[in-house]
Amino acid sequence: MVVAITPKQWSSLLKVLEIAESVAAVERVLNVNFADDEGARFTHRERLFPIFEAAFAAKTLASLAPAFESGGVTWAPYQTLHQAVASDPRFVSGNPIFSTIANPSGLTYPASGPAGTVAGAPRGPLAPAPDFGPADRLAGWAATAVVCALAAVTRFLNLGSPTDNGTPLFDEKHYAPQAWQVLHNFGVEDNPGYGLVVHPPLGKQLIAAGEALFGYSGLGWRFTGAVFGVILVALVVRIVRRISRSTIIGAIAGLLIVADGVSFVAARTALLDGFLTVFVVAAFGALMVDRDQVRQRLDLVLAEGRIADTPWGPRLGVRWWRFGAGVLLGLACATKWSGLYFVVFFALMSLGLDVAARRAYRVPRPWLGVLRRDTGPVAYVFGLIPVTIYLLSYAPWFASETAINRYEAGQAIGERQWFQPPDALRSLWHYTYKAYHFHSTLTNSAGNHHPWESKPWTWPMSLRPVLYAIDDDNVPGCGATSCVKAIMLVGTPAMWWLAVPVLLYSAWRAFVRADWRYAVVLVGYCAGWLPWFAGLDRQMYFFYSVPMAPFLVMAIALILGDILYQPTRNAERRTLGVLVVCGYLALVITNFAWLFPILTGLPISQSTWSMQIWLPSWR
C-alpha cells in the first residue's frame, strides 16, 4: 500500500517506479497537473491505473522497499485489519483513542472515541452514542394519527351489532349487566345474594362509562372497549417507533395490530382483557421512555466527569415515567388479577435495564449501583403504588353499605384483633380470598369443563380460538339459502402461525446478540404467557392471551425492520427487502380481510363458514 499525497511524495513515487514520462504524457493530453492537484488523480484514476500496475508488476518488493524509504514515499505491505491490529499495538491497544467496553453479553471489545480533544483537557471515558429516542417528531405523530384513524374505522364500524336479541354475547353477559349496576349503584355491583363477583371493579367501571353515553345497548357496553382498542394501536406505534428508532417500523407495527384478529375482537366486545392489555402495554411504553431518560441523565453526568465519583454511580433523580408505569400496572391489577404477572416481570426488567445503563456508562460497580440506588425505588413503584391504586379502585366498595362482602368483618371472619388492619380492609381481604378460591377451584379435575377452553401451549399459534357467538338458524343477508353469523376470537394466522420462529429468532437476538429491543419485547410476551403454566388444571381460555398479541406484533415489526435496514446490503438486496416487507403486509391485511366476517358477525354462507375454519381445532 502506497500513499502519495504531497507533490514531493508524488514525484518521488514516479521517480522510483520510472514512470514520470508516461504520467507526463497523460497530463499533456488531459491538460492537468497531477503533482499539484490530488483531485485530478482521483478523477482520472482509470488512466493512471494501467501505468502503475505495469510498473509494479515489473519490480519486486525487495527492490522497491529501499527505494521508497530513500525517496520519502509513505508505504507499507498490505495487511488485513486483523493482521494490522494483531501486529502493531499502535492501532488499538496502545492507541489512546480506543477504550475497552463491556457488552451486555459479558464480552469485552475495543471501541474508538473521538479522535480530537480540547487542548489541556484529559481524554474522558468512552460513552455510548447519545441516542435517546427518534427525532422526527412531526412524522412520528403524523404516522400515528393515520394508523389510529384506520384503527378507529375498523373498531367502531357497526360496533353495536351483533347482540343476542338485544342482550350481551358470551362473557359480556357478566360484565355488561354488572357495569349497568355500577352506573346506577354508585360505582359498585349489586349484592346478588348468591354467587360471587370474581373480578376487580375497574374494567366494569370503564364499561359503565360507555353505557352512560349510549345506554344499555351493544354500542353502550362496547364503546369504551373500542376507544381502548384505538389507544392500544397508538401505544404500539409509539413504542415500536421508540425502540426501533424508526417511524416506518412503528407504522408497520400499527398496521399489524390493526389487522390482528385477537386485538380486533377484544376491542369490539365488552370483556376485561382489552382494558388489561392497554394498561400493561402503556406501562411497558412508560418503562421504555424511562430507559431513554435514564441514559440521557447518565450521559450528562459522564460529560461532567462525575460518573465515577462513587463506585455505584450517580443518583438519577425522580423517574416520573417509571412512577407512571407503577400507576398503570395498578390499574391493570384493578381490572384483572393477571396484571400482577406484569408487575413482577416489569419490575425485574426495569432493574435489568438499569444495570445495562450503568454498565454502558462505565459505572465502576453497576450491580452494586442498582442494588443501592434503584432497588428501593423499584420496590416502591412496583409494590406500594400498584397496591394503592388497586385499593383506590375499591373506593365505591368501601363507601357502600350494600356491596358484596362489605361487612364480613365481625361476622363471617370474627372480631378485629389489635394487631390486625381495619375492618374494611379485613372484609376486602376476605372477599378477595373468596374470589381467589373460586378461580383456583374451577378446575378440570373437579369436573369443570368448557367446550372452548384451551391450555397455554396452544395460545402462541391460536390453535384453539374461542367462539363467542354463532347463529345459523334462518339467518338472512348472505345471498344463500342458509347463512351463518359468528364471532370468533382468533389470531390472524399470517402472524400467529409464525409465533414459534418469531420467538426463537427474538430469543437468539436477545441472548446471543445482546439486542435489548428483542429482550424487552420477550419480557412482555412471557409475562402474559408463562405464568399460566403454573395452573394447568384450571379452566382457561384463549382470550387470556389478549395481552400477548401486542408483544407478538412488536417482535414481528422488529424482524421486518431487520429485513428493511441492513446497512451491509447492496441496493438490489435492499430493494428485495422492501418487496418482502410489503408482500408480508399485504398477506396480513388480506388474511384479516378474509376472516373479517367471523370477527364481526357478518352473515356468510355455510360453505364460506366451512372455508373460514382452517383447522379442526377451530371447530
For 55, the grid coordinates are 510498473
Please tell me the distance from the alpha carbon of residue 427 to that of residue 425, in angstroms, as a whole number.
5
Q: What is the 3-state secondary structure (H, E, C) of 165-208?
A: CCECCCCHHHHHHHHHHHHHCCCCCCCCCCCCCCCCCHHHHHHH
* pLDDT grade for 133, boundaries at 50, 70 and 90: confident
Q: How many CB atoms lie within 10 A of CB 149?
A: 11
Check whether 105 has a pLDDT greater than 60.
Answer: no
Check whether 233 has a pLDDT greater than 90.
Answer: yes
Encode pLDDT of 567-576 as tens digits.
666 778 888 9
pLDDT at position 479: 81
Q: Helix and strand tally (H, E) in the chain? A: 26, 7
Please check whether residue 307 is in contact with residue 314, taking contact to mean a CB–CB distance below 8 angstroms: yes
Nearest to 492 by CA among 596, 420, 575: 596
pLDDT above 90 covers what percent of the chain? 53
Nearest to 525 by CA among 607, 477, 456: 456
* pLDDT grade for 102, boundaries at 50, 70 and 90: low
Residue type present at position 150: L
Please check whether residue 540 is in contact with residue 456, taking contact to mean a CB–CB distance below 8 angstroms: yes
Encode pLDDT of 597-610 as tens digits.
999 999 999 889 98
Residue type present at position 126: L
Backbone Cα Rg of the chain: 33
Peptide bond connecting 396 to the previous residue in cis, omega within 30 degrees of 0 = no
Encode pLDDT of 500-558 as tens digits.
999 999 999 999 988 999 999 999 999 999 999 998 988 999 999 999 999 999 999 99
Q: What is the DSSP string of 276-305?
A: HHHHHHHHHHHHHHHHHHHHHHHHHHHHTT
Classify residue 124 by its DSSP letter: P
Please tell me the distance from the alpha carbon of residue 418 to that of residue 550, in angstroms, as a whole number.
47
Please tell me the distance from the alpha carbon of residue 423 to that of residue 414, in angstroms, as a whole number.
10
Check whether 195 has a pLDDT greater than 80.
Answer: no
Encode pLDDT of 442-469 as tens digits.
888 888 888 899 999 999 999 999 999 9
| Arithmetic mean of pLDDT, 133-152 | 92
Check whether 265 has a pLDDT greater than 90.
Answer: yes
pLDDT at position 404: 82
Please tell me the distance from the alpha carbon of residue 565 to that of residue 116, in angstroms, as a whole number.
31
Please tell me the distance from the alpha carbon of residue 12 to that of residue 67, in angstroms, as a whole number.
9
How far apart are the two ends of the chain, measured CA to CA in Å? 71
For 434, the grid coordinates are 373468596
| Arithmetic mean of pLDDT, 386-411 | 87
More confident residue, 159 or 77: 159
414 phi, psi to nearest 5 deg: 80, 175
Name the packing angle between helices 247-258 and 548-564 (round to 10°): 140
User: 248 vs 98, 281, 292, 507, 557, CA distance in Å?
Assistant: 34, 20, 20, 23, 10
Please check whether residue 91 is in contact with residue 54, taking contact to mean a CB–CB distance below 8 angstroms: no
Please tell me the distance from the alpha carbon of residue 510 to that of residue 516, in angstroms, as a whole number.
6
